[in-house]
Amino acid sequence: MPSRTRIFTPCLVLLAIFVTYLCLGALIFSRLERPKEEAFSQELFRRIDDFLERNECVDLEDLESLVDVIISANEFGVSWSYHNVTSPSSWDFWSSLFFTTTLLTTIGYGHVTPLGYSSKLFCLFYALVGVPITLLFLTMFMTLLHRLSNILYKALDERIGKKPIGSGRSDTDLPVRSLHICIIVTLFSIFFLILPGTVFLYLEPTWTYLDCYYFIFISLTTIGLGDFIPANDYSTEDWDPSYRAIYQTLVSVYLVIGLAVVLLIVELFVTIPQVRSKLNALYGSDEEDDDLAARPVGEQQELSQIPYNNAGYSSMDTNEHKISETAELVHK
């Protein structure tokens, strides 16, 4: 068994790195955003003063109460524009479907939230059951994509040429795995970053290139800040409701598939033998999985399903051995 020092030392080092990274990020964001916040606050107070000077009959307390109501409505996804009566509902079926997708995938943009007590209670139980189901589905879908990617891996392995197992295969296997991952990442960049970013740029006129790729990154990493929401700034005059419904549904499908592909890339990366050995050393575990990691990608899942005992033999082999011994005793 690994010693306690071998286990706790990497944990303490990672904890120090994590806390330092948190503090560094907080410092940078504070330096970048605080001046803008102060400038925006000064502009806001100036405009309030100008409004009160032009409208002396308006009471400041009444104005603040109205602003509180507007802010509360905006937080719940209710349109506060008095003249924008054509604003689409945030809780029609297709908008609700987009909400449940972001809820169960834990993206959680927060652009709309349950309004009533009963809906909040339902949301708790719905997510309690739905999130594990979604994670299970994403895992199974990622496994399917993994099997499809194995076809590409085997083709690359045959083209580049492989050595027999035990003759320095891991040295040859690393370039194959690296090329395999590079191709998968390239395809992911084309079909899940570049093309969707171009579509969002065309369909969202207020978004810039940076906004589009910022939204994609925030979504596929399940951060979900909610500052950019597809089809959120459209009224029924801009888009037909059926077009908006199709758009939201396609975005939901894109998010689910994109998350599965992200899981696939992570899975492919951690199965590289050199990466796995480093992770084993970092976590203080024995390197008993190095031989499994050095095998072709297609063989890993099959081998990982066979349980092994402490002696290193498959439990299947052990049971067969016990059955043969029992048969010999009965024969005697």
Q: Which amino acid is at 287?
A: E
**What φ, ψ does residue 323 adopt, rounded to 5°?**
-65, -40
pLDDT above 70 covers what percent of the chain? 74
How far apart are the C-alpha atoms of 177 and 162, rounded to whole Å?
Answer: 12
How high does pLDDT run on average in the chain?
Answer: 80
pLDDT at 234 over 80: no
Q: Which amino acid is at 143?
A: T
Position with higher pLDDT, 63 vs 42: 42
In terms of average pLDDT, the best of 71-85, 209-223, 308-322 is: 209-223
| Res. 239 pLDDT band, cuts 50 70 90 | confident
Tell me the residue length of the chain: 332
The predicted pLDDT at position 162 comes to 57
The amino acid present at 29, given as its one-letter code, is: F
Whose tokens are 């509360």? That residue is: 72
pLDDT for position 231: 85
Share of the chain above pLDDT 90, in %: 46
Q: What is the pLDDT of residue 313?
A: 34
The token pair that represents 249 in the structure block: 């549904």
Q: What is the distance between the alpha carbons of residues 272 and 290, in angstroms, rounded to a whole number?
A: 10
- For Cα atoms 26, 31, 37, give the angle at the middle one, nearest 5 degrees: 105
Model confidence over 109-145: pLDDT tens digits?
988 888 889 999 999 999 999 999 999 999 999 999 9
Rg, C-alpha atoms of the chain = 28
Location of structure tokens 């009533």: 116
- pLDDT at residue 88, as a whole number: 74
